Chain A
Amino acid sequence: MSLTADDVNKIAYLARLGIDTQDTESYAKDLSGMLDLVAQMSNINTDDVAPMAHPLDQVQRLRTDAVSETNNREAFQKIAPQVEAGLYLVPKVIE
């Protein structure tokens, strides 16, 4: 499996991840290497095997629908890059 620099740019956009143009080729090479490594899996027949999501095959625990968290908005917003009136600020999305 070989990825091109174009492929890398597409994947990087899906991940919203900035990649320097001069590094695209080397990412393409490394990613192709990783995909070659994982390609060994395709030689194994797994038709009758159930996927394993959790080592102990545990199911999600349920809890009563009651308030369990206290409001820590101030503490959480203190470390935010930009806030105003209790809101997180980002560049304008809707004109």
Chain B
Amino acid sequence: MHTKTIAQLAKGLRAGDYSSQELTASYLARIKQHTELNSFITVTEEQALTVAKQADMALATGNAPLLTGIPIAHKDIFCTQGVKTSCGSKMLDNFIAPYNATVVEKLDTAGTVSLGKLNMDEFAMGSSNETSFYGAVHNPWASNTVPGGSSGGSAAAVAARLIPGATGTDTGGSIRQPAALCGITGLKPTYGRVSRFGMIAYASSLDQGGPMTQTAEDAALMLQAMAGFDAQDSTSVEREVPDYSAGLNNSLQGLKIGLPKEFFDDGLNNDMASCIETAINEYKKMGAEIIEVSMPNLKLAIPAYYVIAPAECSANLSRMDGVRFGHRCTDPVDLNDLYIRSRGEGFGTEVKRRILVGTYALSEGYYDAYYIKAQKIRRLISDDFKRALQEVDVIMGPVSPSPAFGIGEKTSDPIEMYLADIYTIAINLAGLPAMSIPAGFIDNKPIGLQIIGNYFAEDKLLNVAHQYQQVTDWHQQTPQGFA
């Protein structure tokens, strides 16, 4: 039953094919069986079985919410009350969250059973899951390759069918890129759609949580539970949540798909370009119209991101000071020594790089030249998208320039790793929703198609993704050894 989707499992639970306790035990056994992937940081077996038991009682009443009894797991960036929330860092290795993130609370209310916490790049800073204090996660499609990042544990666990769905977060591509590299479906909602309360902050003006699942249909079910206004998040948007499943089967006849010519220039390798072209052709067969659009400022997205994200992270991570929670050095001689050594010991190299760049960019005399300049560039990029989305319904392109790369292959040159996020980062700067769906294989490694929509058009994205999944079976492929 581990290859079933959330939608299928929900039916099975109601039909009495299995209980939530059986389902939970079966997934827990798979998680134990596949520790070689290193996708989990914490497994909450006992709690999960208790919640599953309650879920079975709720299901027996006949009016339990749709996701009741469905096992999921959370990226370890979401605070879970009474459970270690490490954010992939030594700094928070001893941090037992005293409260739940809103996303966790909402999914609990929706009836899901959390099986534990998933591995990730330290403080979500990375594109390969190699910066985690708990070690690299292995891609189930090829164990010597990365699963992508920063939500690498979430993507690997869903791809290996250790769980049917997971939460992830996306600041510059951290849901979409690992989804692409692991051959699953990932959705980054519009900025402000999903509450950031209790989601450990990296870059507050870019961070957004979302679902990672096998199918678009499942992503709709999870997003339904996750989305909505939250007074505890100052940037949460007060706007009604539509029924994300209602329009999944709408026809795509006349759908206008924009292809930004900047996505398909020399930087994209031929194999990737041809996979994306094949996917676009499927849409043409469904009646979609293809329109070339232009995003002249797209190339500035990485430079702007590597000012804005580090600047915001340097401010956000100042709360990790060894005073109220987290790692504290031994025998500090004075307060400065306590700060400096606690932070020096607690953070890894990539996190330190970004704190340093951010501190520099925000320091006296540099603020206008870096941060304000980057925010102006951000508006130019956002305007490019707004212009294009007046002409078309969705924009499509690749997620990542190549399929999964080797573990250790890009660690010596951080800049090279940053440049690989070229197709995802601009979307965060603009605050738009976007998805990655499985769209083929290169050398037996999955690749993703990116679908970008207008603000709050998650329903449209899910419809467009679901229709593709009705005529293709890339999303049903399971890596060898995990079927």
Contact = CB atoms under 8 A, between A and B. Distances in A.
Interface of A: 3, 8, 11-20, 23, 27, 30-31, 33-35, 37-42, 44, 46, 49-56, 58, 60-61, 63, 72, 75-76, 78-82, 88, 90-93
Nearest to A55: B431
B295 interface: no
- Please report whether the interface of chain A is mostly helix, strand, loop or mixed according to DSSP: loop
Given A41-B307, A91-B334, A91-B335, 19 more contacts: A12-B356, A15-B356, A16-B318, A17-B343, A17-B352, A18-B343, A18-B345, A31-B357, A33-B414, A37-B418, A41-B373, A50-B379, A52-B382, A56-B191, A75-B98, A76-B98, A79-B94, A88-B324, A92-B334
Contacts of B375: 51-53
Given A11-B356, A54-B205, A55-B430, A17 B300 contact: no
- Please report whether the interface of chain B is mostly helix, strand, loop or mixed according to DSSP: helix
Contact of A31 (B300, B337, B356, B378): B356
B252 to A, nearest CB: 27
Contacts of A8: 356
B323 A90 contact: yes
B408 to A, nearest CB: 17
B288 interface: no
Interface residues of B, number: 75
Contact of A58 (B192, B303, B322, B369): B192
Contacts of B372: 51
Nearest to A75: B98
Nearest to A39: B303
B279 interface: no
Contacts of B328: 81-82
Nearest to A60: B234
Contact of A63 (B231, B378, B432): B231
B100 interface: no
Contact of A80 (B325, B332, B344, B380): B325
Q: Which of A18, A27, A53 has the most CB of B within 10 A?
A: A18
